[in-house]
Amino acid sequence: MSDEKQQVSRRQFLNYTLTGVGGFMAAGLLISPIRMAIDPVLKESSAGDMANVGLSVDDITAEPQRIDWTIDQVDGWYESEVNRAAWVYRNENDEIVAFSPVCKHLGCVVSWEGSDQHPNEYFCPCHDGRYYKDGTNVPGTPPLAPLDEYEQEVRDGMLFLGEPKPRGEA
Ligand code: FES
């Protein structure tokens, strides 16, 4: 065995030191941009928030009325203003109901009493799709599922709506 001590040359010492300090500085410089780059992805999308649709619950009657509103949607890095719409009325139990107007066949927009031949129904002009007042699809017409229903709550007398949820096949 040799008793000789391992000597570190000046060149090796400088190499180790510069590599260590350089790596430390590079990591410090990279952390901030990486954090900025992935931060929006880590944040929750705003899509699931309840929105005040600007309708007082006192103004909701048994007759479906269409309401339109916009929400600010933040999805990752992308911020956008999204238009929303609903058919809102009070059912026979005095409960507030809010349906999505998006037809469950191919996504056209349905209207309450949109056809003279089918009063008291939602009507889709694209392929004559029909729904009863409670949103259930009329058998024998193209849609195979009821209209989606919005999540809802009432705050200070105003209607807030969230996401439309499917109600399953009729
Ligand atoms: S899209 Fe509504 S009936 Fe086809």
Query: What is residue 153's predicted lDDT score, i.e. its pLDDT?
Result: 96
Three-class SS of residue 50?
coil
Q: Go through the domains of the chain in sequence order and give each one's CATH number.
A: 46-165 (2.102.10.10)
pLDDT band at 1 (very low <50, low <70, confident <90, very high): very low
Other beta carbons less than 10 A from residue 125's beta carbon: 13
pLDDT of 112 > 70? The answer is yes
Please report the atom of ligand 1 found closest to the CA of residue 110: 2
Percentage of the chain beyond pLDDT 70 is 85
Question: Any idea which residue has 């029909």 for tokens?
Answer: 130
Other beta carbons less than 10 A from residue 35's beta carbon: 10
More confident site: 128 or 49: 128
Task: State how far the Cα of 121 lies from the Cα of 132, in Å rounded to an integer.
Answer: 5
Task: State how far the Cα of 13 lies from the Cα of 28, in Å rounded to an integer.
Answer: 23
Choose the weakest-confidence range: 17-31, 37-51, 87-101: 37-51
Distance 65 CA to ligand 1 centre (A): 20
Distance 131 CA to ligand 1 centre (A): 11
Distance 101 CA to ligand 1 centre (A): 11
In the Cβ-directed half-sphere of 89, how many Cα atoms lie within 13 Å?
17
Three-class SS of residue 51?
strand
Q: Which residues line ligand 1 (CB under 6 A)?
A: 103, 105-108, 124, 126-127, 129, 142-143
Please report the atom of ligand 1 found closest to the CA of residue 129: 3
When the pLDDT of each residue in the chain is averaged and rounded to a whole number, the result is 88
Identify the residue whose C-alpha is closest to ligand 1 atom 1.
Answer: 106
Query: What is residue 21's predicted lDDT score, i.e. its pLDDT?
Result: 81
Choose the weakest-confidence range: 25-34, 58-67, 68-77: 25-34
